[in-house]
Structure formats: structure tokens, C-alpha cells
Amino acid sequence: MILVVARSIPALEALCVQLSRETGGVDLVVGPDKTKYMGFSASPSRRSVKVITINGVTYERVAGFIYLGTLICNDKNVGKIKNIFG
């Protein structure tokens, strides 16, 4: 799993282009069917974007995911972020 963090959509687009270029050099492909995105913002309207398209590929938005054994959610309840292994 690769986690990409950006402060804006244009910055994310630039990182995705660079990631595709670098992974292509070692014969790896970022699978759009397995790739999702999650937005963090104080503004609920900015968190409500359902899909994002980068380089012609559309990615689905998720409200949370598990990364390195930790559940990460995009709501403002910090208590939602917890280690699932206790």
C-alpha cells in the first residue's frame, strides 16, 4: 500500500503523475480499481466530493481506511482514529 498526502487537488495531481512515472520505470502499475482517495477538511462541503478525476482516471472517495493497522477516518471526531489491534 502506498499513501500519498497532498494539500490540494493540483498538488495531488502532480504527485500522481510522478508516482505513475516512477512506478512505470519498475514495471508497477497503480490500479485504478483498487485506488481510492480521502479528503480532510474543516468544511463539510469540501469533504463531500464523491469522485475525483486525475489524468482521465476517476477515483472513488472513502470516509475511512485502515493503514498499518490503524483505522483512519475523515470526520472531525479524533476518537475515531484508533489502533485496531488494541
pLDDT, one tens digit per residue, over 17-31 is 888 888 888 888 878
Residue 3 lies in a domain: no
Residue 1 lies in a domain: no
Domain extent at residue 57? 9-83
d(CA 24, CA 9): 22
Buried b / exposed e across 26-61, counting CB within 10 Å, b at 16+?
Answer: eeeeeeeeeeebebeeeeeeebeeeebebeeeebee
- 78-83 average pLDDT score: 50
Looking up cell 493503514, which residue turns up?
67
Residue 29 lies in a domain: yes
Residue 36 lies in a domain: yes
Residue 14 lies in a domain: yes
**Dihedral sign computed on CA atoms, order 44, 8, 62, 53:** positive
Residue 27 lies in a domain: yes
64-76 pLDDT, tens per residue? Answer: 777 777 777 777 5
Residue 4 lies in a domain: no
Percentage of the chain beyond pLDDT 90 is: 0
Q: How confident is the model at residue 47 (pLDDT cuts 50, 70, 90)?
A: low
Write the CA distances from 33 to 29, 41, 52, integer angstroms: 11, 25, 13
Residue 49 lies in a domain: yes
Looking at the structure of the chain, the number of domains it has is: 1
Determine if the pTM surpasses 0.75: no
